[in-house]
């Protein structure tokens, strides 16, 4: 209520007639003659456009015969800035201002899950122009933009079609030749969003991710190019975004001009069932949580349901030190079909995709509890403070991910710490969560050939592709092993300083906003080492080299012992383990027989060089018999619990194969147990200081 960025749609300006555009596929209709009532034909200077003559404006509008609506008229007014910017220097009129790209997104076709895009792009005079589709996405650290989802591209200049060709070496680049006198190109295309998995659009929720929904001229700096964006939302939807809203006209929302970088970093999420609550009333660091649900009952939560998140957000703010900044928005979609569990960080907002029950029944969602918190920590580490090489001047240049073990690893660790300190997880749950990570790190075959530092290349190597043998290739280990690395750093600081200092102190110093809360800060590995050295002198380069650059990784798991715990294997799973396996749809015996079994005996994972591997099994095989009995999940569990070798029958490539798995001594599930009596450092880390 009272939130200027969150409003209920009122009058639909398009109600009762066909939409001006959208759902037209590839029809070339820019220049088509229209009834006068639908064409913007200016006959005199508009008081809102001083200095733009009727002749010039007619060149932009009337001759082209763009469909006229209040929406589009507003767009043209925005583009008047562009007109003055790209006019020849000797032309009369106002002094050149910043070029503005106009972007309209129609997000109403929930049936076909497609977005219709129209753009007016400033171009400097005539000649060769290259339009780029964003390829490198900051949050995925990878070239995950999918130009294959762009279809129906039409480009026009002055109402005439302009032919385009793809760059022979880069399918994300469209080359064309703008005719003489061209000041702006009109572009339209359709974005085909996924229809199965990772949805951007359902009947209840629409996620407007701008980077998929635009082309931009090559050669511009995305931090400089201003964009006037508008979106047409499905009727009656509410929305939230960190963008500043200029005005809302029915279901059309017009945003204040923002740099292309800011726009792409500021998604708009809209929904039918939306609820916003404050999770930080701090006048310096206000934070709101906006929930988008598929079912309205998922929003019927008592205020107390948000108390642990509120306390954990306060812990994050205490870690980084409170500085005044604009309101921060946690945008949480309670529907995993839209890309979860997972999240995408932004400078002033986050997108997080979680199971619908995460606030109603947190005890059933132990592994996912800290996801929104992780993304919030990126408000500092990753968006305001950026590793060198990850600044984007444009979206088609490779990112240099060398410091992902800081960007993601430290964030992952601090998310776990803040979640425990704020009460999102109990101490016991935090330890169980850590045990899963430690077990994964301990059994990872990748560390036999690939140092942890090399995992920073995984986003590029692995994104969007099926991963065979993930424990052998490694799978973005800078998260799990990275978190263990920063636990080791925390323990090291505490030990060396005799308990006087901790990683909290490092965070406060390293992320101090020396250049103000609004400035971007870029850090290097040398900065990090120097900060640690100032805090607690020691051979930090060697400390990190031993863990990042060797195949032994200096015993990340064994380092738990310095925190008072060791990784043990017991015959009963923790609740966290049970939920983690359930989320993956498997019975997880990776720590015993070296396999994870899904429905109807289908092997979903086999540990590289583990017992099942050595017996001749692989993912995709189907278990049909156990020790002479037909396969049954309970029979397998009982056979494993009894210990000793397993005689398994499996179907592999249509043949029945008998194998013998040396499963060892019974069921084994990871759990942390105290390694020594007395107070444990890890308990102190997970407790509110
Ligand atoms: Zn992250």
Indicate if 434 and 505 belong to the same structural domain. Answer: yes
- Positive or negative CA dihedral for 130, 134, 138, 144? negative
From 35-49, 248-262, 445-459, 595-609, the region with the lowest mean pLDDT: 35-49
CA of 400 to the centre of ligand 1 (A): 16
Q: In what order do the strands lie in the sheet with 587-589?
A: 587-589, 595-597, 603-606
With tokens 């900044």, the residue in question is 325
Q: How many structural domains is the chain composed of?
A: 3
Residue 689 CA to its chain's centroid (Å): 30
Q: Is the pLDDT of residue 65 over 70?
A: no
CA of 376 to the centre of ligand 1 (A): 9
Q: Is the pLDDT of residue 20 over 70?
A: no
Q: Regarding predicted confidence, which is higher, 462 or 539?
A: 539
Indicate if 120 and 206 belong to the same structural domain. Answer: yes
Range 664-678 average pLDDT: 91
Give pLDDT, residue 443.
86
Question: Cα–Cα distance between 590 and 461 in angstroms, integer?
Answer: 25
Give pLDDT, residue 126.
63
- Positive or negative CA dihedral for 400, 473, 373, 561? negative
Cβ atoms of 265 and 347 within 8 Å: the answer is: yes
Range 360-375 average pLDDT: 95
Q: If DSSP codes are grouped into helix, strand and coil, which group holds residue 499? A: coil
Kindly state whether residue 324 falls inside one of the protein's structural domains.
yes
With tokens 């969602």, the residue in question is 365
CA of 463 to the centre of ligand 1 (A): 15
Kindly state whether residue 247 falls inside one of the protein's structural domains.
yes
Cβ atoms of 434 and 563 within 8 Å: the answer is: no
Indicate if 469 and 554 belong to the same structural domain. Answer: yes
Which runs of consecutive H residues, i.e. helices, occur in 560-625?
575-584, 611-615
Range 279-304 average pLDDT: 95
> Where residue 617 sits, what CATH number does that domain have?
2.30.42.10
From 32-41, 105-114, 385-394, the region with the lowest mean pLDDT: 32-41
Q: Is the pLDDT of residue 185 over 90?
A: yes
CA of 380 to the centre of ligand 1 (A): 11
CA of 284 to the centre of ligand 1 (A): 24
Q: In b/e form, how buried is each residue of 499-512, taking b as 16+ CB within 10 angstroms?
A: eeebbbbbbeebbe
CA of 479 to the centre of ligand 1 (A): 8
Indicate if 440 and 547 belong to the same structural domain. Answer: yes
Q: What pLDDT, in 10s, does the model give residues 464-497? A: 677 899 999 999 999 999 999 999 999 999 999 9
CA distances to 29, 414, 629 from 66, in Å:
9, 52, 72
* 264 Ramachandran zone, left/alpha/beta (phi>0; psi -120 to 50): alpha
Which runs of consecutive H residues, i.e. helices, occur in 347-479?
371-377, 404-407, 409-421, 427-442, 458-462, 470-473
Give pLDDT, residue 99.
77
Which runs of consecutive H residues, i.e. helices, occur in 539-590?
540-548, 575-584
Indicate if 536 and 639 belong to the same structural domain. Answer: no
CA of 349 to the centre of ligand 1 (A): 13
Question: Cα–Cα distance between 164 and 597 in angstroms, integer?
Answer: 51
Q: What pLDDT, in 10s, does the model give residues 405-459? A: 999 999 999 999 999 999 999 999 999 999 999 999 988 999 999 999 999 999 9
Q: Is the pLDDT of residue 67 over 80?
A: no
Q: Which residues form the domain of 352?
A: 283-564+682-689
Q: If DSSP codes are grouped into helix, strand and coil, which group holds residue 689? A: coil
Give pLDDT, residue 679.
87
Range 251-276 average pLDDT: 98
Indicate if 237 and 118 belong to the same structural domain. Answer: yes
Q: Which residues contact 582 (CB under 8 A, 6 or more apart)?
A: none
pLDDT confidence tier of residue 263, bands split at 50, 70 and 90 = very high
Indicate if 319 and 251 belong to the same structural domain. Answer: no
Give pLDDT, residue 98.
53
Cβ atoms of 238 and 274 within 8 Å: the answer is: yes
Q: If DSSP codes are grouped into helix, strand and coil, which group holds residue 355? A: coil
Give me the chain's average pLDDT, please. Answer: 85
Cβ atoms of 102 and 111 within 8 Å: the answer is: no
Q: What pLDDT, in 10s, does the model give residues 211-232? A: 999 999 999 999 999 999 999 9
Kindly state whether residue 74 falls inside one of the protein's structural domains.
no
Give pLDDT, residue 339.
85
Q: How far apart are the first and last CA of the chain?
A: 36
* 585 Ramachandran zone, left/alpha/beta (phi>0; psi -120 to 50): left
CA of 210 to the centre of ligand 1 (A): 20
Q: If DSSP codes are grouped into helix, strand and coil, which group holds residue 192? A: strand
Indicate if 511 and 609 belong to the same structural domain. Answer: no
Q: Is the pLDDT of residue 93 over 70?
A: no
Q: What share of the chain is helix, strand, coil (3-state, %, to 5)?
A: 30, 25, 45
CA of 589 to the centre of ligand 1 (A): 28
Q: If DSSP codes are grouped into helix, strand and coil, which group holds residue 681? A: helix
Q: What pLDDT, in 10s, does the model give residues 575-586? A: 999 999 999 999
Give pLDDT, residue 6.
30
CA of 378 to the centre of ligand 1 (A): 7
Residues with CB under 5 A from ligand 1 (ion): 408
Highest mean pLDDT among 69-73, 549-553, 655-659: 655-659
Indicate if 390 and 466 belong to the same structural domain. Answer: yes
Kindly state whether residue 66 falls inside one of the protein's structural domains.
no
CA of 475 to the centre of ligand 1 (A): 14
Question: ipTM value of the model?
Answer: 1.00
The residue out of 216, 242, 271 marking a domain boundary is: 271
Indicate if 266 and 311 belong to the same structural domain. Answer: no
Beta bridge pairs of residue 589: 595
Q: Is the pLDDT of residue 666 over 60?
A: yes
């Amino acid at each position: 209520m009272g939130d200027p960025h969150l409003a209920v749609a009122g009058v639909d300006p398009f109600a009762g007639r066909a939409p001006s555009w959208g759902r037209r596929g590839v029809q070339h209709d820019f220049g088509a003659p229209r009834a006068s009532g639908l064409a913007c034909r200016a006959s005199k200077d508009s008081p809102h456009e001083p200095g733009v003559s009727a002749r010039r404006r007619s060149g932009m509008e009337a001759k082209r015969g763009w469909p006229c609506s209040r929406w589009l008229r507003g767009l043209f007014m925005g583009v008047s800035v562009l007109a003055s910017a790209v006019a020849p220097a000797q032309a009369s009129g106002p002094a050149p201002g910043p070029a503005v790209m106009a972007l309209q997104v129609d997000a109403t076709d929930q049936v076909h899950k497609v977005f219709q895009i129209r753009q007016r792009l400033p171009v400097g005079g005539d000649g060769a122009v290259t339009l780029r589709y964003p390829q490198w996405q900051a949050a995925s650290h990878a070239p995950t933009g999918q130009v294959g989802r762009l279809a129906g591209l039409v480009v026009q200049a002055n109402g005439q079609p302009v032919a385009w060709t793809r760059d022979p070496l880069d399918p994300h680049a469209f080359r064309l030749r703008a005719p003489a006198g061209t000041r702006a190109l009109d572009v339209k295309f359709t974005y085909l969003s996924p229809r199965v998995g990772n949805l951007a659009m359902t009947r209840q929720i629409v996620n407007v991710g701008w980077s998929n929904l635009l082309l931009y001229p090559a050669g511009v700096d995305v931090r400089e190019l201003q964009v006037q964006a508008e979106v047409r939302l499905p009727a009656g939807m509410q929305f939230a975004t960190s963008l500043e809203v200029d005005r809302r006209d029915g279901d059309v929302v017009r945003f204040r001009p923002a740099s292309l970088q800011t726009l792409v970093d500021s998604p708009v999420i809209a929904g039918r069932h939306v609820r916003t609550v404050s999770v930080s009333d701090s006048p310096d660091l206000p934070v709101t949580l906006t929930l988008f649900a598929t079912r309205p009952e998922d929003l019927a939560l008592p205020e107390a349901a948000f108390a642990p998140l509120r306390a954990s957000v306060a812990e994050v703010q205490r870690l980084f030190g409170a500085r005044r900044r604009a309101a921060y928005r946690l945008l949480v979609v309670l529907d995993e079909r839209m890309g979860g569990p997972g999240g995408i960080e932004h400078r002033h907002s986050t997108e997080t995709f979680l199971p619908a029950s995460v606030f109603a029944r947190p005890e059933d969602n132990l592994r996912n509890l800290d996801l929104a918190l992780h993304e919030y920590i990126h408000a500092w580490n990753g968006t305001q403070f950026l590793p060198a090489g990850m600044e984007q001047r444009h979206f088609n240049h490779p990112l240099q991910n060398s410091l992902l073990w800081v960007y993601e690893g430290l964030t992952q660790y601090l998310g776990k710490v803040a979640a425990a300190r704020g009460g999102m997880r109990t101490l016991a749950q935090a330890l169980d969560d850590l045990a899963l990570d430690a077990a994964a790190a301990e059994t990872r075959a990748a560390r036999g050939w690939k140092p942890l530092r090399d995992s920073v290349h995984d986003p590029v190597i692995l994104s969007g592709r099926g991963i065979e043998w993930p424990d052998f290739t490694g799978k973005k280990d800078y998260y799990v092993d990275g978190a263990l690395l920063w636990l080791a750093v925390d323990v090291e600081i505490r030990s060396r300083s005799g308990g006087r200092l901790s990683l909290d102190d490092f965070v406060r110093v390293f992320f101090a906003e020396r250049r103000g809360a609004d400035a971007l800060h870029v850090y290097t590995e040398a900065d990090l080492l120097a900060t640690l050295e100032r805090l607690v002198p020691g051979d930090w380069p060697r400390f990190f080299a031993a863990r990042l650059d060797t195949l032994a990784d200096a015993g990340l798991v064994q380092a738990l012992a310095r925190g008072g715990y060791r990784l043990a294997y017991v015959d009963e799973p923790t609740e966290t383990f049970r939920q983690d396996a359930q989320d993956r749809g498997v019975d997880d015996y990776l720590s015993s027989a070296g396999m994870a079994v899904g429905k109807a005996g289908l092997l979903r994972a086999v540990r590289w060089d583990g017992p099942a591997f050595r017996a001749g099994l692989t993912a995709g095989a189907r278990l049909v018999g156990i020790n002479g009995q037909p396969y049954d999940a309970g029979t397998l569990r009982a056979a494993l619990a009894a210990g000793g070798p397993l005689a398994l029958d499996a179907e592999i490539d249509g043949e029945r194969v008998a194998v013998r798995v040396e499963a060892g001594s019974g069921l084994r599930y990871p759990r942390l147990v105290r390694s020594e009596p007395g107070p444990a450092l890890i308990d102190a880390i997970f407790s509110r200081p």
